[in-house]
Amino acid sequence: MKSPFDIAGKVALITGSSRGIGRSIAETMAGLGAKVVVSSRKADACEEVAKAIRASGGEAAVIPCNISRKNEVEALVKGTKDKYGRIDVLVCNAAVNPAFGPMSEISDDAFDKIMGSNVKSNVWLCNLAIPDMAKQGGGSIVIISSIGGLRASPMIGTYGISKAADFALARNYAQEWGHKNIRVNCIAPGLIKTDFAKALWENEQLRKDRETKTPLRRLGEPHEIGGVAAFLASPAASYITGEVIVVDGGVTIAP
């Protein structure tokens, strides 16, 4: 019997995949036989990831992209199709958070940057990738959101708004394109030990407080998101769409 988790031969485009959660997703999917496109702003950082994947027997290509620039997003999708002929899996992982503080103090520029990179870029990516997925008979889109979209925060409120918007984005694309066998889901990680979240987990008091309030009593690791993304890309998740999969060690269900 063929494994329901098999994604061998599928083409997966993963934004923000030169480090952290994105890198974990690229490495996990490549390890399961997918052809992955590693993408972030810096080509050298992407090539380091691709080199490691190839050294482990996987297949990876590099296409740098700043997801806040529409022309680069268009080039990323086109470059993936030119290289591999198709896109079966799109992982929208790249995101920014240039503001740390109360929303009453956020500048217009920072607000626009967060919403542009974390929401609008995902709309661009989906609109560019979905039509060809529909012609191919289906596809899977995974948007990496955050439990910040489920909870209020005194310090990263606008980031949380952008991540809540991604929930709605996934639901709406799932509704619009389900009849073409295109599934769209979100993953909402809790606090994961990545460079992106370093300001939170490197602070010893903040870290201890979070660990105490988390049922599993620890922070998450990037590889614990990679497996969930690979599951959502696989036939095992063929009847899951429009959902938000929370991966947070239980922190959002704790009293």
Is 6 within a domain? no
| pLDDT given at position 237 | 98
What pLDDT does residue 211 have? 93
Structure confidence at residue 204 (pLDDT): 83
Q: What is the pLDDT of residue 207?
A: 87
Give the distance between the most distant pair of CA atoms in the chain: 57
Print the domain residue range for 87: 11-247
State the pLDDT at residue 103.
Answer: 94
Within a domain: 252 = no
Q: Are 225 and 24 in contact (CB under 8 A)?
A: yes
Q: What confidence score (pLDDT) does residue 64 get? A: 98
Residue 176: partners with Cβ closer than 8 Å, 6 or more residues away: none
Closest listed residue to residue 109, CA positions, set 93, 126, 96, 125:
96
Q: Is residue 149 part of a domain?
A: yes
Residue 165, φ and ψ in degrees, nearest 5: -60, -35
Please report, for the domain that includes residue 45, its CATH number.
Answer: 3.40.50.720
Q: Is residue 162 part of a domain?
A: yes
* Amino acid symbol at 39: S
- Specify if 143 maps to a domain: yes
- Give mean pLDDT in consecutive 10-residue pieces for the chain, a chain of 255 residues: 93 98 98 98 97 98 98 98 98 95 96 98 98 98 98 94 98 98 98 81 83 95 97 98 98 94
Residue 210 domain-assigned? yes
Residue 148 confidence (pLDDT):
96
Residue 159 annotated in active site: yes
Count of structural domains, the chain = 1
The reply to whether 4 falls in a domain is no
What's the pLDDT at 194?
86
At 141 the three-state DSSP class reads strand
Would residue 253 count as lying in a domain? no
Query: Which tokens sit at 99?
Result: 């503001």
The DSSP annotation for 179-192 comes to GGTEEEEEEEE-SB
